[in-house]
Structure 1
Amino acid sequence: MAKFFGTNGIRGVFDEDFTLDFIHDMTLAIGTYFEKGPILIGYDGRNSSPIICKVVTSTLNSIGIDCNVAGIVPTPCLEFAVKKLGYSGGIMITASHNPPQYNGIKPAASDGVEISREDELVIEDIYIKKNWIKNSTNWGTTKKEERAIDVYLNGIASQVNSKLIESKHFKVVLDLGNGAQAVSAPDFCKLINCETFLVNENIDGAFPGRGSEPTPQNLSELSKTVIQNNADLGIAFDGDGDRSIFCDNKGNILTGDKSALLLTKHILTNNPNSLVVTCLNSGSNIEVLAEQFGSKVIRTKVGSVEVSRKMVPTDALIGFEENGGFMFGKHNQVRDGCMTLALMLDLLAASSNPLSDEISNLPPSFTTKDKVSCSPENVPKLISSLKDEFPNSDTSDGIKINIDSRNWVMIRPSGTEPIVRVYAEAQSQEKLDDLMSEYLQKVKTIISR
């Protein structure tokens, strides 16, 4: 088990468990793992990001590794630029959707995809043994990288029917969440001739608008702005811009599962007999949909690293998580909020229907999730107790209790916060409400024992 890497990179509260000393030593380990430069560095809009960037670059330089700084960019922009511009690797400084006091680092390999779980353990081993490259007389240098955003946006535009989208003059509401997509998503919309309305557009590390994670509960401003401006769709990004939650033309917020089904149907229509990768906690309709197009679904543990790193060797076309993380293999096998927006606009451009009609044509699905505060030391007791009660459950990632193929509950510890997440799917809204109520209470009872 990794000690420092969580579900997605290394994160902690800045200057408490995520200190400058820790960042320095962990960067030595990451630099030793990469062996050579140049390394591309990017960061989100958190207040601590610029100072962490200085520590990261100077540490890499101290062991002879050159690096270039892209500045504030979305995580998928950094990852795509690493691949496209020929870097040996990348380091993204971000805590994604975590609260403002957190920050983190996320390494990307030379293929533009997050490093594998095995490589995370290699880095941790170097860190623990302090087995890093010793001081060199050949110091590295740090320069600026000015091309990352243009390369990223042009790469996205090349994957969709940009001319057709341009001809539609779509109205799009962007809830940028005071996050990193503010430097790219509005420019992408200009590139493809969309009229845009911006919500929470100023980059601010305190995330004052609605917090860094878009959830159905905090997107009322997005919904209202879509209705007021008669927009074709709205989209909300998380803090580092790799996840996106959609709002249809009637102001309804879509779950990540629902938008993923819609996009998968659109992509598989033109690419049948493909492969889709998703996590254990995604809804069951994806198998039904894939089968209609002669396609297969592979399930992984929860986490974008698991999905991305399964997509690479299998050459999967699509990957997704239920939290709004969607991956289009032809572009890059990582979550990408702006690429996902482009695909949704591509879908609308090819259709004569508004987004709400496209959604109504999907098979009905009822999924939800919630969270319960839980200290890490209480997690084994919780999972063990549930395993005793439901011995036939899947315990490959937390515990997934299958009542039948359409009704299930999954409980797993977060890899980024002291909470457990509870996911559920049911055949009706009423059944879903009952399931969640029952299992949230069950989890709280076990934890409090």
Structure 2
Amino acid sequence: MLQAWAMLLERLSAIFRLYDIRGVYGSDLTPEVAARIGLALSYYQEGDYAVGMDARLSSPPLHLALVSGILAGGSSVVDVGVVPIGAVMYAALHKGYAAAYVTASHLPPEWNGIKLFKRGGDPMVGDEIQRLRELFFSDGLRPREPGSLARFDILPEYARFLRSKAKASGLRIVVDCGNGAAALVAPRLLRDLGHEVYTLNADVDPRFPGRGSEPTPDRLRDLAEEVVRRRAHFGVAFDGDGDRTVFVDNAGRVLTAEQAAVVMLEGMGYGDVVANVECSMVLEELVRARGHRVRWVPVGRTFMVREIARSGAVLGVESSGHYVVWGNANMDDGLLTMLYFAEAAARLGRVSEVVPPQYPVVRRRVEVPDELKFRVVEEMRKELEGKYEVNTLDGVKAVMEDAWVLIRASNTEPLIRVTCEAKRQGTAERLADEYAAKVREVAERLSRRS
């Protein structure tokens, strides 16, 4: 009995991640758990909340429970229903609400989660989420005088905000909504701006029957073919909640995040850029050549958002497909990114003519026990320092001539990720294998000492 209870507590504790709350619906994350999270949230940050959700099957019961918990804690709720996550970011940034959004983003259908935002739009992460976890398990968490509930259709106001940021019209654009929440806004928004729009997977469907919720290159063949067939200026694909975007150029080529960032820089003008340590060296080569610098940050949208707000860089890019443009520092909103890409495309004409090369990237995963993985990374740092230019913002990154190697411990799994980029495929594969073997060797040596 005690062992089962301990296992349950361990499972519940594990849903509080570094950047959000996430778990398998019905197992780790249930309506009862969501209600208590809402109660803890109301204790952590009192006041008015905007609460929305994506279109997953499990989102409505979790959303309802989360709202009830926030109300029970004495805070008031403005329920905005099913919306792209950008609408909730907008509510936090421009309307003075704290915000919560039920989503598992691009993860498989059995997963769900909660993303949290403070007033002003800054995401709740790290120590803040761990403080929320402590409140969740606290014996002193009790219902208080309930707050008030209002329902609000925020989409018209959010769409007006997006239109105010748009500077392009008259393009031919193919939009793959992925059956996610972006379908509620993106196609109509572009048409209202005067673009010729063709759509794929534009019906909101919680099963994501079209190509799944994650816009990976292998799932975007239909989009690429449609861009070429329609002679479109570009194509754009969204994930389940609309914060990630993947672009296809006019030649039908699926662009990496760094390639898309270069298109936006070429169209809107260069300046300093914020990028995470996994981003391609092609970005730094081009930014440096224009007399500017790349400001490197750890992996995670929060670091990008905060650094662009601090530094005034013109663009932030995450290798996963999150972008932030200066002036909208707390909004890595995929629909907003789409509008800036359209602006660049309108100025450039043929996007494909400015797309830089894509260098080969090879990834390896090495299983390492949780109690050893950070020690292994530290040992690798000691080995690499003095031999190469080393970046220790997030794990250890060794920059070599025409290549780099990044060794990072996973925050959620007992493993270390080894990522290598080089200008030649063979070099990338050789480095990935070499450093994965070194990580394995160090882990075995430390294990024998323990």
- TM class, shorter-length: 0.7 to 0.9
Match in the other structure for 2:69: 59
1:405 deviates by 5.0
2:317 matches 1:320: yes
Q: 1:356: which partner in 2?
A: 352
Aligned to 2:9: none
Which amino acid is the alignment partner of residue 344 of structure 2?
L
SS at match of 1:129: coil
**Partner SS, residue 295 of structure 1:** coil
Q: Distance in 1 between matches of 2:346 and 2:336?
A: 15
Report 1:196-345 matches (<5 A): 196-269=197-270, 272=271, 275-345=272-342
- Name which of structure 1's ranges 302-311 and 112-121 shifts more when overlaid on structure 2: 112-121
Mapped to 2, the partners of 1:42 and 1:227 lie a distance apart of: 36
Which residue of structure 1 aligns with residue 152 of structure 2? 145
CA deviations over 1:193-244 (Å, ceiling 9, x no partner): 1122211222222222222211112211111111222211111111111111
Structure 1 residues 99 and 336: alpha-carbon distance in aligned structure 2, compared to 1, 3 A threshold: same
Map of 1:77-156 to 2, 5 A cutoff? 77-87=87-97, 89-132=98-141, 134-136=142-144, 138-147=145-154, 149-156=155-162
After alignment, is 91-100 or 190-199 more displaced? 190-199
Cα shift readout 1:67-113 (whole Å, capped 9, x = no counterpart)? 011111121221012222222x0001111111110000011111123
Does residue 408 in structure 1 map to residue 428 in structure 2?
A: no
Contact in 1 for aligned 2:373/2:409 (Cα 8 Å): no
TM value normalised by structure 1:
0.85
Q: Name which of 43, 51, 69 aligns with 1:32.
A: 43
Q: Secondary structure at the match of 1:366?
A: coil
CA contact (8 A) 2:306 2:329 kept: no
Deviates more, 1:255-264 or 1:319-328: 255-264
Q: Distance in 2 between matches of 1:211 and 1:376?
A: 32
The alignment partner of 1:92 has SS state of strand
Compared CA separation, residues 101 and 297, structure 1 to 2 (3 A) = same
In 1: Cα distance, 2:335 partner to 2:391 partner: 34
Q: Which residue does the alignment assign to 2:180?
A: 179
1:315-358 Cα deviation digits (max 9, x unpaired): 4432110111111131342322111111111012112x311112
Residues 233 and 42 of structure 1, relative CA distance in 2, 3 Å threshold = same
Partner of 1:13: 24
Q: Which amino acid aligns with 1:236?
A: A
Runs of 5+ unmatched residues, structure 1: none
Residues 366 and 432 in structure 1, CA contact (< 8 A), matched pair in contact too:
no
Partner of 1:150, secondary structure, is: helix
Aligned residues of 1:26 and 1:127 also touching (Cα < 8 A): yes
Higher relative contact order (CA 8 A, sep 6+): 1
Residues 159 and 389 of structure 1, relative CA distance in 2, 3 Å threshold: same
Question: Deviation of residue 304 (structure 1)?
Answer: 0.6
1:420 Cα shift?
A: 5.6
Aligned residue for 2:280, secondary structure, equals coil
Q: Which amino acid is 2:151 matched to?
A: K
Residue 368 and residue 69 in structure 1: after superposition, are their counterparts in 2 closer, same or farther (change >3 A)? Answer: farther
Deviations 1:376-399 (A, max 9, x none): 748728945972894436554344
For normalisation by structure 2, the TM-score amounts to 0.85
| Structure 2 equivalent of residue 432 of structure 1 | 428
- Conserved 8 A contact 2:363-2:417: yes
* SS class of match (1:41): strand
Q: CA RMSD in A?
A: 3.0
Runs of 4+ that moved beyond 6 A? 416-419, 440-449
Q: 1:373 to 1:435 in 2, by over 3 A?
A: closer
Q: Which has the larger radius of gyration?
A: 2
2-side partners of 1:381 and 1:131: how far apart?
Answer: 34
Q: 2:419 aligns with which of 396, 417, 423?
A: 423
SS of the residue 1:103 aligns to: strand
How many residues are matched?
429
Identity %: 29
Structure 1 residues 368 and 175: CA distance shift in structure 2, 3 A: farther
Partner of 2:361: 368
Cα deviation, residue 290, structure 1: 3.1
Shift in Å at residue 151 of structure 1? 2.7
Structure-1 residue corresponding to 2:166: 160
Question: Which structure 2 segments of 5+ residues have no match?
Answer: 1-12
- Aligned equivalent of 1:397, options 382, 387, 394: 394
Query: Which range moved further: 65-74 or 194-203?
Result: 194-203
* 1:42 is the counterpart of 2:48: no
* Correspondence for 2:5: none
